[in-house]
A and B are shown apart, each in its own frame.
Chain A
Amino acid sequence: MNSQTNGTAPAVNQRYKLPFNIRRYIRTNSAQLGILGVFLALWLIFIISAPRTFLSPQIYTAFMTSTPFFAIMAIPLTVIVVAKEMDLSFPSIMAMGMVAFSFVYNESAFIGSTTASTTVRVFLSIIAALIAGTIIGWLNGFIVVKFGIPSLVVTIGTQFFWRGAVLVLTSGANFPLEYIKQTFFYPLLVGKIGGFLPMQMVWLVIVTIIVWVLLNRHRFGAHIYLTGDNINSAELMGINTGRTRIQAFMLVGLISAFAGIIASFYVAYFWPNLGSGYLLNTLASVFLGGTSVFGGTGTILGTFLGTFIIGSIDAATVAVGLTGFLTQLIYGFIIVLSVIMHTYLRKRGE
């Protein structure tokens, strides 16, 4: 690791600090402020048109219950898109992680000659699911980097492959996971704090903070931005862009498996098509949040707001009194308008 500067950096006496300037602040944070504006505007519209629903806490508990299932994956997916890569295989990784989970659970009834407790078995199964997700992510990255195939193409393939593997390994069967309710992992992952705050929301916030720190305060994130911005420059200056991208795919794999665990625990049931409805919602959240498909720019906070816009439109359309048929139309409208807004803001910011 060449993190030092060979001791050449002279001590700095004067600290550099720009005086706060509101216009510059707006310009440098335009993408995040833009999506925050869309978020607040929609919220205002919802409150005005359905005040009884949107001024009561129940609707927010409902949003915080269902949105994290895909929002958790949108966070690491942002990292992939900033690195100018794409991953479409995460819904299959969710399911494949749960296959690893149930295999380990079934095989761990006896460890040695003693009977393992359910808690120990579930713990081992969770670890297995996370490892499986990470390995699948590594394989995605490895194929992309070593063979130089665009990740969009690779992950279309692996998405089918792992979904197929799930169907083969489970014979397409679904099965209950009632036993997890006996362990403390159940309340830890999908319980409710004070009957109001779902634990999956807490996990979403934890994942968001960790990935934000990685992307903005760690060398890994610096290399992600530089790789996505100009991979040629990054390589000329000695960044290992292959390793950086493989790590990003592993992060998506790990967190997708985690999302699979949470989504399955919530219903205490495993479905072999787990995650298949999340693909476009998750991707839309990333782009809604202002992350550019051309790489090099994007923010975690933008994605976070994007997921809740996507997550609320469904319920809000009905609550406002419109027919459910309008949902997708409104989705499309908001996504297209927001992406146009982001493109405009980016051009002005340069």
Chain B
Amino acid sequence: MEEYRLELRNVSKSFGEVKALEDINFQLGRNEIVGLLGDNGAGKSTLIKIITGYHQPTSGELYFNGQKVDHLTVPKARELGVETVYQERALAELQTLWRNIFLGRELCNSLGFLDIQRMRDETHRLMTESMGFTSHAISPDSRVGKYSGGEKQGVAIVRALFFEAEIIVLDEPTMGLSLKEAAKLVSFVKGIKQAGKSAIFIDHNIFHVYDVADRVVVIDRGKVAGEFLTKNIGLDELMAKMVRVAETGSFD
């Protein structure tokens, strides 16, 4: 049997009385891009936050490369190669660019003292090589709060890439982006696949998801309603099914 990069078995999550997720079984293969679709409140973000270690599942098991992982935390998930571009971007807007790039992963020596010059050097390199930032207003020492929406998203994405990620999670990455920026993002996600990595892609825009994903998983009311290989289903058919699920809770 092929070993999955990531597998969730019977994962449930409750917040008090509210059942956010129920018996989720989810697999992410090697070099696969999975699109997660579902209406608002279907549980997509909760699922993501379990994978990134932010929430602990109420029950169920997580496997990374076939190995069971208990008590996943955010630092542990990052060590396992999960990098996330959050819907809320997870930036500290009053801080400088270099502090944001290395947020939670500061380069420091064994005593915890920061290697500021190296972080600024790396930030500068990433800015010019990966983000394509050329504006004079942006430097490693400029504050992230004054950037445009697209620039902020660029920071969040480049940050995920800098640390050698095996699984890249993108939660609504095109939200607030211009058409051109969104197109750039889609080509970037295709680049993840070419680089031999895996990704989970969540977006409201079904066209973007269909365009880049190998497989689409539809989540509805905290459960997996179904999944489709994009090569086996047409875009029109997928859209029709999505509407039907949202209205009736079943595909047929």
Which residues of A are at the interface with B, using a C-beta cutoff of 8 A? 1-3, 5-6, 8-9, 12, 14-16, 18, 28, 217-220, 222, 225-226, 229-230, 232-239, 296-297, 349-350
Q: Is the CB of A12 within 8 A of B122?
A: yes
The 0/1 profile, CB within 8 Å of A marked 1, for residues 130-166 of chain B is 0000000001110101100000000000000011100
Q: A233-B90, A234-B104 are in contact. Are A226 and B95 (CB under 8 A)?
A: yes
Q: A236-B86, A238-B74 are in contact. Are A218 and B114 (CB under 8 A)?
A: yes
The reply on B120 being an interface residue by CB < 8 A is yes
CA distance A238 to B79 in the complex (A): 11
Interface of chain A: mostly helix, strand, loop or mixed: loop
Which residues of B are at the interface with A, using a C-beta cutoff of 8 A? 52-54, 73-75, 77-79, 84, 86, 88-95, 99, 103-110, 112-114, 116-118, 120-125, 139-141, 143, 145-146, 162-164
CA distance A218 to B109 in the complex (A): 9
Q: Is the CB of A350 within 8 A of B105?
A: no
Q: Is the CB of B95 within 8 A of A217?
A: no
Q: Is the CB of B92 within 8 A of A3?
A: no
Neighbour of B121 across the interface among A15, A220, A225, A233, CB < 8 A? A15
CB pairs A–B below 8 angstroms (18 shown): A2-B79, A3-B110, A9-B118, A9-B162, A12-B122, A12-B125, A14-B121, A15-B117, A16-B123, A217-B114, A229-B94, A233-B90, A235-B54, A236-B86, A237-B74, A237-B90, A296-B92, A297-B94
Q: Is the CB of B163 within 8 A of A18?
A: no
Q: Is the CB of A225 within 8 A of B112?
A: no
Q: Is the CB of B103 within 8 A of A218?
A: no
CA distance A153 to B163 in the complex (A): 40
Which residues of A have CB within 8 Å of B143?
349-350
Q: Is the CB of A296 within 8 A of B74?
A: no
- Number of A-B residue pairs at CB separation under 8 A: 118
Q: A6-B163, A233-B88 are in contact. Are A222 and B99 (CB under 8 A)?
A: yes
CA distance A20 to B52 in the complex (A): 41
Q: Is the CB of A218 within 8 A of B112?
A: yes
Closest Cβ of chain B to A57, distance in Å, is 38
CA distance A185 to B94 in the complex (A): 43
CA distance A175 to B91 in the complex (A): 53
Q: Is the CB of B88 within 8 A of A5?
A: no
Q: Is the CB of A238 within 8 A of B73?
A: yes
Q: Is the CB of A226 within 8 A of B90?
A: no
Neighbour of B90 across the interface among A2, A5, A18, A232, CB < 8 A? A232
CA distance A102 to B172 in the complex (A): 61
Closest Cβ of chain A to B58, distance in Å, is 19
Q: Nearest A residue to B139 by beta-carbon distance? A: A18
Q: Is the CB of A3 within 8 A of B164?
A: no
Closest Cβ of chain B to A259, distance in Å, is 25
Which residues of A have CB within 8 Å of B106?
3, 219, 222
Neighbour of A350 across the interface among B78, B118, B139, B145, CB < 8 A? B145
Which residues of A have CB within 8 Å of B114?
217-219, 222
Closest Cβ of chain B to A221, distance in Å, is 8
Q: Is the CB of B74 within 8 A of A16?
A: no
Q: Is the CB of A217 within 8 A of B116?
A: yes
Neighbour of B163 across the interface among A8, A230, A297, CB < 8 A? A8
Closest Cβ of chain A to B40, distance in Å, is 19
Which residues of A have CB within 8 Å of B121?
12, 14-16
CA distance A226 to B109 in the complex (A): 19
CA distance A236 to B114 in the complex (A): 21
Which residues of B have CB within 8 Å of A234?
92, 103-104
CA distance A237 to B92 in the complex (A): 11
CA distance A217 to B109 in the complex (A): 11
CA distance A18 to B138 in the complex (A): 12
CA distance A28 to B140 in the complex (A): 13
Closest Cβ of chain A to B105, distance in Å, is 7
Q: Is the CB of B54 within 8 A of A8?
A: no
Q: Is the CB of B74 within 8 A of A5?
A: no
Which residues of B have CB within 8 Å of A217?
113-114, 116
Neighbour of A229 across the interface among B79, B92, B118, CB < 8 A? B92
Neighbour of B164 across the interface among A1, A8, A15, A222, CB < 8 A? A8
Q: Nearest B residue to A213 by beta-carbon distance? A: B113
Which residues of B have CB within 8 Å of A350?
143, 145-146
Q: Is the CB of B104 within 8 A of A9?
A: no
Closest Cβ of chain B to A155, distance in Å, is 24
Closest Cβ of chain B to A128, distance in Å, is 28
CA distance A32 to B147 in the complex (A): 24
Q: Is the CB of A237 within 8 A of B103?
A: yes
CA distance A5 to B162 in the complex (A): 9
Q: Is the CB of B113 within 8 A of A18?
A: no
CA distance A297 to B145 in the complex (A): 13
Seed contacts A8-B163, A12-B122, A230-B93; 16 additional CB < 8 Å A-B pairs: A1-B112, A3-B106, A5-B107, A5-B162, A9-B162, A16-B123, A16-B125, A18-B139, A218-B114, A225-B92, A233-B90, A237-B74, A237-B105, A238-B53, A239-B103, A297-B94
Closest Cβ of chain B to A299, distance in Å, is 13
